[in-house]
Amino acid sequence: MSGQYRNSDQPLDSNVEASALPPAGDAASKAGASATPDHPFLRACRRLPTERTPVWFMRQAGRYLPEYRAIRRNASLLEICHTPELAATVTLLPVDELDVDAAIVFADILLPFEPMGLGLSFIEGTGPRIEHPIQSAADVETLRPVDPVTDLGYVLETIQLASAQLRDRVPLIGFAGAPFTLASYAIEGGATRSFARTKRFMYNEPAAWHELLDNLAQTVGRFLSAQAAAGAGALQLFDSWVGCLSRDDYARYVAPHSARAIELASEAGAPIIHFGTGTSTLLDSMAEAGGDVIGVDWRIPLDEAWEQAPHLGIQGNLDPAVLSAPLPEIQHQVSDVMKRAGRRAGHIFNLGHGVPPTADPERLKAVVSMVRERSVAHV
């Protein structure tokens, strides 16, 4: 893969005719003029009335799907991401398999680390590994600036291909990691439970910390806006690990940067879902930082979460572990989430975090059916 963002007038070796692709930057490919503006998912993002509750799942394209595992036997995660034809195919798998109301582009939040010069690999059974983690203030100075079109064009191309293949079936979600969650991987060098290195850097090198988060905010903000321009009808900012912070630290060290990323991302006009886990104590501050929809996990009842961000839509919040429960228990918990949302416009049904790799696709299909059966009009 060349890494170049191909325009519609360049040949594409895929089953989608090049002429079916919207020209990059064309008004019709802008999110404001999405091919599916009246889809319940996009209406719910804007808190407009819908005839039913839209549903999709974070990490809906992944190892729990046999079709994904088959593709992974011949290609690494990064190879799939770098190959738009393959990534677009994977993007569409859960739409065909589960009948969800949105597709999410197949990519990873850590991809910008490659052009930044941090070095990225995924180790089987361990997770991401950053080859050159940020260990000092000087390391922040060495980060290369990222241009979304030239450096991450393969993701934009996947969006073009996937949205052409989806036609008007369901909207496509673009995404990026939020500055804090990305900084935690860049500093820790991989996954962590304690965020000890991240916090040590934050408290001891505040100037370099703010420079790093500003750099990441600009990178992901521009990247998200480019994804909307390429055809993503909505955007999600994943601040998966921000719940490890106190309210005060979130306000001082993180919120301004998330706000900057969201402000830049909003330029293309697509609605933005602002997601985190363990954020029961941060929801009002996250809502203030920006976004049209707040994403919440299962640790807080949906109605209580919504009280903290009453002016926004809300996405969530079934515990992914419930997927391992017997069907009556799943039914009980799906109903509870929907009861708490009530008839208020703006609820998007989802899990509180990603689909576990061990999930049974049949259980996810059952959840989609339950949401459809229990759906009422939202006003």
Angle of helix 255-265 relative to helix 179-188, nearest 10 degrees, comes to: 120
DSSP notation for 132-201: S---SHHHHHTPPP--HHHHSHHHHHHHHHHHHHHTTSS-EEEEEE-HHHHHHHHHHSS--SS-HHHHHH
Does 316 bind ligand CP3 (CB under 6 A)? Our answer is: no
Binding-site member from 5, 39, 41, 108 for ligand CP3 (CB under 6 A): 108
Task: Give the CA-trace dihedral at 95, 98, 99, 100, to 10 degrees.
Answer: -70
Closest by Cα among 333, 313, 219 to 265:
219
Give the range of 24-32, 55-63, 204-212, 305-313 binding ligand CP3 by CB under 6 A.
Answer: 55-63
Whether 1 contacts 146, CB under 8 Å? no
Binding-site member from 46, 52, 63, 199 for ligand CP3 (CB under 6 A): 63
Which residue shows structure tokens 């190879």? 79
Closest by Cα among 59, 2, 43 to 320:
59
Active site residue 344: no
Binding-site member from 238, 253, 298, 306 for ligand CP3 (CB under 6 A): 238
Pairing verdict, β 120-123 and 127-130: antiparallel
Give the range of 103-111, 197-205, 305-313, 359-367 binding ligand CP3 by CB under 6 A.
Answer: 103-111
DSSP state, residue 20: G
> Considering beta carbons, is residue 128 or 290 the nearer one to ligand CP3?
128
> Considering beta carbons, is residue 58 or 318 the nearer one to ligand CP3?
58
Give the range of 58-66, 281-289, 358-366, 367-375 binding ligand CP3 by CB under 6 A.
Answer: 58-66
Q: Please give the Cα distance from 165 to 266 (Å, whole number).
A: 25
> Considering beta carbons, is residue 240 or 279 the nearer one to ligand CP3?
240
Binding-site member from 64, 113, 175, 298 for ligand CP3 (CB under 6 A): 175
Active site residue 59: yes
Structure token pair of residue 87: 């990534």
> Considering beta carbons, is residue 57 or 201 the nearer one to ligand CP3?
57
Does 122 bind ligand CP3 (CB under 6 A)? Our answer is: yes
Smallest gap from Cβ 17 to ligand CP3, in A, equals 26
Give me the residues paired with residue 177 across strands.
238
Interacting positions 328-367 with ligand CP3 (CB under 6 A): 354
Binding-site member from 109, 120, 172, 178 for ligand CP3 (CB under 6 A): 109
Structure token pair of residue 350: 């989802």
Does 120 bind ligand CP3 (CB under 6 A)? Our answer is: no
Smallest gap from Cβ 332 to ligand CP3, in A, equals 25
Q: Which residues make up the interface to ligand CP3 (CB under 6 A)?
A: 58-63, 72, 77, 104, 106, 108-110, 122, 127-128, 175, 191, 238, 240, 354
Q: Which residues have a catalytic role annotated?
A: 59, 63, 72, 108, 185
